[in-house]
């Protein structure tokens, strides 16, 4: 049975912290490395997520968490200040 999106994200957070405790930073890897890691350890992710997730689903969850961690800062628009000569 597939879990809800919120539950899946929470479980993926647990996966990431468990991996980090073992020296593997899933959130800090590139896309290719992340896909390879997920394929190599798919049974681990499926066990932690609680269902038979496909590799694409696991990568999508990891990417979603990665995107959530990137601060989205918007700076106000203002005209450039003149430079002193």
Residue-wise pLDDT tens digits, 4-50: 888 888 999 999 999 989 988 887 888 899 999 999 999 999 999 99
What is the reported pLDDT for 77? 64
Give this prediction's pTM: 0.71
Q: Specify whether the CB–CB gap between 48 and 7 falls below 8 A.
A: no
Burial grade of 65 (CB within 10 A; 0-12, 13-18, 19 or more): middle
Give the Cα separation of 26 and 16 in Å (integer). Answer: 6
Please write the tens of the pLDDT for every residue from 52-65. Answer: 999 999 999 999 88
Phi (first) and psi of residue 21, to 5 degrees: -65, -25
Q: Specify the higher pLDDT residue, 80 or 17.
A: 17
For position 1, what pLDDT does the model report? 46
Q: How far apart are CA 48 and CA 7, in angstroms?
A: 11
């Amino acid at each position: 049975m597939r879990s809800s999106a919120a539950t899946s994200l929470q479980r993926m957070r647990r996966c990431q912290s468990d991996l980090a405790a073992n020296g593997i930073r899933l959130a800090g890897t590139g896309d290719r490395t992340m896909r390879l890691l997920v394929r190599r350890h798919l049974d681990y992710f499926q066990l932690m997520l609680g269902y038979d997730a496909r590799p694409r689903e696991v990568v999508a969850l990891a990417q979603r968490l990665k995107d959530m961690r990137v601060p989205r800062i918007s700076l106000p628009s203002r005209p450039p200040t003149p430079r002193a000569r």
